[in-house]
Amino acid sequence: MLSVKRIFSYSSLFIVASAVTASGGQDGSYEGLIEPSEVVNVGSQVRGILEEIMVERGDRVKKGQVIVTLNANIEKAAVNLARARVEFSRRKVLRNRDLYKKKLISIHDKDEMETELRITELQFREAEAKLELRTIHSPVDGVVVERFLGPGEYVGEEPIMKIARIDPLYVEVVVPVEKFGTIKKGMKAEVRPEPPLRGRYRARVIIVDRVMDAASGTFGVRLELANPSYYLPAGLKCRVVFPSG
Dihedral (C-alpha) 191, 196, 199, 205: value to the nearest 10 degrees?
A: -10
Q: What does the angle CA 188 – CA 191 – CA 195 come to, to the nearest 5 degrees? A: 175
Instruction: Give the model confidence (pLDDT) of 177-193 as tens digits.
Output: 999 999 999 999 999 99
Q: How confident is the model over 84-121, as pLDDT tens digits?
A: 999 999 999 988 887 777 777 788 888 888 999 999 99
How far is the first Cα of the chain from the last one, in angstroms, to the nearest whole number?
51
Please state, in angstroms and as integers, the Cα–Cα distance from residue 19 to each residue in 49, 115, 162, following that order.
41, 66, 24
pLDDT above 70 covers what percent of the chain? 89
Question: Among 178, 161, 160, which Cα is nearest to 216's?
Answer: 178
Q: Tell me how far apart the alpha carbons of residues 190 and 185 are, in angstroms, rounded to a whole number.
A: 15
**Which residues, listed in sequence order, are joined to residue 167 by a DSSP beta bridge?**
none
Angle between helices 73-101 and 107-132 (to 10 degrees): 160
Give the CA-trace dihedral at 8, 9, 15, 17, to 10 degrees: -150
Q: Give the strand pairing for 66-70 and 60-61.
A: unpaired
| Residue 73 near residue 99 (C-beta atoms within 8 A) | no
Per-residue pLDDT for 58 more than 60? yes
Q: How far apart are CA 23 and CA 32, in angstroms?
A: 11
Record: fold of 73-132? Helix Hairpins (1.10.287)
d(CA 124, CA 135): 18
Domain residue limits, the chain:
4-69+138-241, 73-132
Find, among 239, 222, 220, 215, the residue nearest to 179 by Cα. Answer: 220
What is the homologous superfamily of the domain 4-69+138-241 according to CATH? Efflux pump adaptor protein, beta barrel domain (2.40.30.170)
Strand partners, 154: 49
Of 59 and 197, which is predicted with more confidence? 59
d(CA 67, CA 62): 10
DSSP state, residue 63: T
pLDDT at 22: 58
CA–CA gap between residue 199 and residue 177 (Å, rounded) = 28
Give per-residue pLDDT as tens, 128-176: 999 999 999 999 999 999 999 999 999 999 999 999 999 999 999 999 9
Radius of gyration of the chain (CA): 28
